[in-house]
Each structure stands twice: as structure tokens, then as C-alpha cells.
A and B are shown apart, each in its own frame.
Chain A
Amino acid sequence: MMKKENPMENHIDNKDRISDLPDSLLLHILSFLNIKQAIHTCVLSTRWINLWKYLPTLSLVSSQFTSVENFTEFVSQILSLRDNSTELHSLRFRRNIAVEPSLLEMILEYAVSHNVQRLDIGVKCDIQHFPTCLLSCRTLTSLDLHVSHPTVYGTTKLFPSSLNMPLLTRLGL
């Protein structure tokens, strides 16, 4: 039997080698998609149905949502459907339009309770102070915290009163 194939011909049998990969690799690809598209991969096949729920990184960067209610609903759904025992290593939350304080608090508390290491927050929010659990988060290694208060004259920036983060190596305020 001659076994001298043109490597290009191998490509014709387009068998599903991607789905045979371990979860960690598929999640690696998903982590480069925006969250909405990552979620939509659950329709691909049974292999993919729950994958996105194990994503260790979340990027909630949205200018696509026209109303605060929709966005709040979206984020709440993601956090409640996400696998609760999977750590959230990295969370990015950016939003141009003002977010409700309760939403920001919920996201921060979720992140801290899921051992967040890298946190990047950039929002306008009428929050009075940061949740205490954030200020003493022991897993954080990188923190970018940009929270602006909407005021009559524009915005003022909210700074944390104190930080107790033993592992922190990067801070952006």
C-alpha cells in the first residue's frame, strides 16, 4: 500500500479534530471571543453545550446594550449560569453608560468570591464606596479601578480608602 499522501489532501477529510481537544484548549479559543459569541457556541453540538460556563476569563465590555435594564439582565444571567465552582481568573468590565451601583457591587463580589486575580473595571457608577471584600482581596495580582461618579459638573473619581492586597503587583487608579 502506498502511503505517500499529499499533506493538503489530508485536509479533505475534515474530521472534527477540534472537538477532540481537551476543554482547556477549547476554552482558550473561547476566551478570545466576545462573551456573547462564546455563549452562542453552546449550540454547535453537545460537546460544546456547557463549555462557556467554565471560562476562567470574562470580558463584559459593552457599548452594544441600549438600556441599563438589558445589560443588568445580561450580566446577571451570565453570572448565574456560569459554573459556580470555576474560578474567575480575570474580569474586565467596561461601560460608558452609567451602571447601577447594585450591578457593580454584584460583579465585584462575584469576582472576589471566585478568586479573581486580574480585575479591570472602568465604569461610571454612583456608588458610595467599594465593597470591603474587594479592598482586602487576597488573590488579586493586577487591579485597574476606574470608577467615576456622575455629578452635576461632570464626574469625580472614586478612590479606594485603603487596600490590603498582599499579592498585588500592578495597580492602576
Chain B
Amino acid sequence: MAEEVSSQMNSLSISETNPSSSATISLVSGDDIVFKVEPTIAKEMETVQSFIDETDGKITTIPLPNISSHDLPYVIEYCEKSIAGKITKEFEAEFVKKLNNEEVKELFLAANYLNIKKLLDFLSQVIADRIANKSVEYVRRYFGIENDFTPEEEAKLREELAWTFTGVDPDDEDEN
């Protein structure tokens, strides 16, 4: 997979003026798989780029301990499309179709860690869409949130929220 990614990237032109930009960047996933990407891809990942900049381009192997080799190819794919200016509604719809709830969450965390704003916005929308009109219990399960309210506290809180329901249709039924 990693080699596949790097060969796809060979067709991208590279600026000759900056010597550091001609070196391929190696991204190392948390489970020690190396993904070779062109510097233009790294530029999309602010965290990676600032790491490269800080070392004047001398270091081109970047460990990403928080990101697994399962998730990193998705991030790279999105960045490739972004550079090519090909982030369309169709692409995003196809992209998200491949992802289960866990993967969406993992990628959200990865996008945050790598500081890729477009991907973060996109995944925020995806998460919002997936928890929209769901019950509190469903959303807790979705995020893995432990309910630390006592039953009395929770009941009181729900009671206090009564004003948010006035004149509003009841929530949709849980679809899970």
C-alpha cells in the first residue's frame, strides 16, 4: 500500500528552487509502517510541514505515533485530492461511504493531530450528520462517552431542557 501511494505521486512536479522540497517524505505510522509521500502532500499536513521546517528540511522521516497504518492511507488520499483541487461532493460522498463510525472518529483525531483544516471540517460535518437526530444514549455509544451523571442529575437536566422541545416536532426515531 505504501509503495503504491508513492508511485502514484511520482507524476507530481516538484519545485526545484527549494532543495528540501525534492526529498520524499517518509511518514511512519504508529504501527511502524512507512508511507513515502511527495513533499506537496506533507504541506497539506501542517504538523508535518512545521516539523520539516523546524529542522530545515534535514529530517524527512516523520513518526506519527497517533495514526495507524489503517487510517493514514485515507488521510493521504484526501490530501492528494485536495492538492489536485478535486475535492468534490461526489468524491466526499464516495470517501465517506467507505468509512465506518470508528474510522470516521479515528480520522477526525488524525486530521486534528496533523492539523489538516479541510479534512477536519469535512469530518466534523460527517460526525454531525451521523449523530443528528439520535438519542442521547446513541450519541454516548457513538463517542464512547461514559455517563457520569447520577440518574437524578440526568433527569433534572432533561427536565431543564424542556424549553428546547416547545413547539418542536419530536426527534426522529433512532435508526440504529
Contacts and interface: CB of A to CB of B under 8 A. Distances in A.
Interface of A: 4-5, 7-8, 10-11, 14-19, 21, 25, 28-34, 36-37, 39-49, 64-67, 70-71, 73-74, 77
Contact of B112 (A21, A44, A48): A21
A43 B70 contact: no
Given A14-B144, A19-B143, A43-B158, A32 B128 contact: yes
B131 A33 contact: yes
A18 B101 CA distance: 13
Provide the main secondary structure of the chain B interface.
helix
Given A65-B167, A74-B163, A16 B120 contact: no
Contact of A33 (B120, B128, B140, B166): B128
Given A7-B68, A45-B147, A31 B136 contact: no
14 contacts: A7-B68, A7-B71, A8-B70, A16-B144, A16-B145, A18-B105, A28-B120, A28-B124, A36-B168, A39-B164, A40-B164, A44-B139, A46-B149, A74-B166
Contacts of A40: 136, 161, 164
Nearest to A62: B168
A156 B70 CA distance: 58
Contact of A41 (B139, B148, B167): B139
Interface residues of B, number: 41
A111 to B, nearest CB: 21
Nearest to B69: A7
B121 to A, nearest CB: 8
B31 A45 contact: no
Contact of A70 (B109, B112, B167): B167
Contacts of B139: 41, 44
Nearest to A30: B128
A30 B133 CA distance: 13
B125 interface: yes
A18 B124 CA distance: 12
A46 B146 CA distance: 10
